[in-house]
Amino acid sequence: MWVISAEMVLICIFDEAMQNLEFTYLSKNNIAQIVPLMQDFTANKYSDELLLDRLKAMFAYDYDCVAILLDNQLIGFCGLWYQTRHYSGKSCELDHFYIDEPFQGKGYGKQFLDWITLQLQKKDYEAIELNAYKENKAGHRFYEREGFVHLGFHFVKRL
């Protein structure tokens, strides 16, 4: 069951097919709905239980998760990490901005990013940041078209 307020949802009617596109914030109570898409995105690298535990734990920090639905079907998600950085000010880092593969290249990602941007602008954020896997060339092109600039590299050291 979705718990949604008027401020959290934007419904768009478009195309001749009159499809309903919905953007919404998820909560700890309904975050499990993204696990199947997260498994696709991560090539089933982690168990469902581990992913769900990690996702739920993330809500204890400055974190939100947003979703895009098409005709009530989840087709994408994005985590939002909020912070203030010395080089960009009040900013939000997009975490795993993902549109399910059958829906990529159809404008849904752009509409989703536009909605996220609008939500952040309403809250006086100054910048949006993200990391993209180096192999994700299509994603790099998308982000560059949307005004993102390549600033550096993201390194990880497993402990």
- 150 falls within a domain: no
- 13 falls within a domain: yes
- 31 falls within a domain: yes
- CATH number for the domain harbouring residue 97: 3.40.630.30
Q: How far apart are CA 58 and CA 76, in angstroms?
A: 18
Q: Which residue stretches of 7-101 are H helix?
A: 35-41, 48-58
How big, in percent rounded to 5, are the helix, strand and coil portions of the chain? 35, 30, 35
* Count of domains for the chain: 1
- 88 falls within a domain: yes
Domain that holds residue 89: 6-145
Q: What is the pLDDT at residue 153?
A: 85
Question: pLDDT over 70 for what percent of the chain?
Answer: 89
- 153 falls within a domain: no
- 156 falls within a domain: no
Q: Are 55 and 43 in contact (CB under 8 A)?
A: no
- 158 falls within a domain: no
pLDDT in tens, 56-102: 999 999 999 999 999 999 999 999 999 999 999 999 999 999 999 99
Note the pTM of the prediction, 2 decimals: 0.86
- pLDDT above 70: residue 8: no
